[in-house]
Amino acid sequence: MIEALFKYRFLQYALASGILASIVCGIVGVIIVEKKLVMMSGGIAHTSYGGVGLGYLLGFEPIIGAFIFSLLASLGIGYIKRKGGERSDVVIGLFWSLGMALGILFIALMPGYPPDLSSYLFGNILSVTKTDLRLIAGITAVVTLLVVSLYNNWKAYIFDEEFALVLGLKTAFFEYLLLLLISMTVVALIRVVGIILALALLTAPTATAGLLTADFKKRIICSILLGCVFCIAGLWISFELNIASGAAIVILSAFCYLLTYAVNYISNALKRKNLSGRTNS
């Protein structure tokens, strides 16, 4: 694959998009896991399918439609959650189902043969275009800037909202800003692993990093590095075996998490056993 990487432009685009997606996932993923917003992120991702269908129906770029729908869904879920009008899991489920249903409806209303949406649903990193790469790069730059420039404020908001209020931080602003970042991240992931598998790449590297270190900054760095490894290895596997790239990346990510969890569990069990033995003796 190394020879092909220097020869084929589509492989270069795929590699670059995988690294950029890993950066944005590493940053946003740690925040959503810490704030317990994993299912909300999944709901936002699936709602974006309605925007993809609307883009095809009306003849504009489906990725733009996906961003509009994911943004509206995130703001809607966030508003209802803050007002306490309904349980958040119910609202997430409704938006999740509504987005997918609207996408199916819009595609069905198109004249002629329906387009192949498998790359939007399951991703195809090998089909990333120069335009897609620029979009992912722009999203990565904006997300990184917003998190790095407000890093200390983010830490206060994530770990202690009451303390953040004492400091004078507007927690509502950071909550809606986080929802915006999630929407942008979803758009960046659609071309890499697709709508259905986006949640896995958002959480698997972060969850694995959480097993390796408890430090917030180290978790972000570790999550980014793991995401890069998963994307590059998954790209290589998909290229060599001619299988779906998104599936290869996600399976590798999930397997690595399960392996790390098993090693941690066995290691902790042995430590407890040794400690118990010393205490008894």
Taking Cα atoms as reference points, which of 230, 63, 53 lies closest to residue 134?
Answer: 63
Q: Quick one: average pLDDT of 226-241?
A: 87
- Angle ∠(246,211,121) on CA atoms, nearest 5: 15
Rounded-to-integer distance, Cα 203 and Cα 200, Å: 5
The whole-number pLDDT of residue 242 equals 82
Lowest mean pLDDT among 21-25, 40-44, 82-86, 208-212: 82-86
Report yes or no: 171 and 178 within 8 Å, Cβ to Cβ.
Answer: no
**Is residue 216 scored above 60 in pLDDT?**
yes
- Angle ∠(20,21,23) on CA atoms, nearest 5: 65
The whole-number pLDDT of residue 235 equals 84
The whole-number pLDDT of residue 10 equals 77
**Is residue 214 scored above 80 in pLDDT?**
yes
Rounded-to-integer distance, Cα 105 and Cα 215, Å: 45
The whole-number pLDDT of residue 206 equals 92
Does an H or E element contain 59, and which?
A: none
Q: Give CA 1 to chain center in angstroms.
A: 26
The predicted-structure confidence for 167-204, as pLDDT tens digits, reads as follows 788 888 888 889 889 888 888 888 788 887 788 888 89
The whole-number pLDDT of residue 223 equals 93
The structure tokens listed for 215 are: 């430090």
The predicted-structure confidence for 26-36, as pLDDT tens digits, reads as follows 899 999 988 88
Which DSSP category does 117 fall into?
Answer: -
CB-based contacts of 262: which residues, under 8 Å, 6+ apart? none
In the block, tokens 């270069």 appear at 12
Q: Quick one: average pLDDT of 207-226?
A: 91
The whole-number pLDDT of residue 222 equals 94
Report yes or no: 62 and 52 within 8 Å, Cβ to Cβ.
Answer: yes
Rounded-to-integer distance, Cα 5 and Cα 16, Å: 11
Lowest mean pLDDT among 9-18, 46-55, 188-197, 268-277: 268-277
Taking Cα atoms as reference points, which of 51, 69, 47, 49 lies closest to residue 60?
Answer: 51
The structure tokens listed for 177 are: 């800003």
**Is residue 123 scored above 90 in pLDDT?**
no
**Is residue 38 scored above 60 in pLDDT?**
yes
Domain range list for the chain: 2-280
In the block, tokens 């790469």 appear at 133
- Domain 2-280 matching CATH 1.10.150.130: the answer reads no
Name the more confident of 208 and 10: 208
Size of the chain, expressed as the number of residues it contains: 281
Q: Give CA 55 to chain center in angstroms.
A: 22
**Is residue 243 scored above 60 in pLDDT?**
yes
pLDDT above 70 as % of the chain: 93
**Is residue 1 scored above 70 in pLDDT?**
no
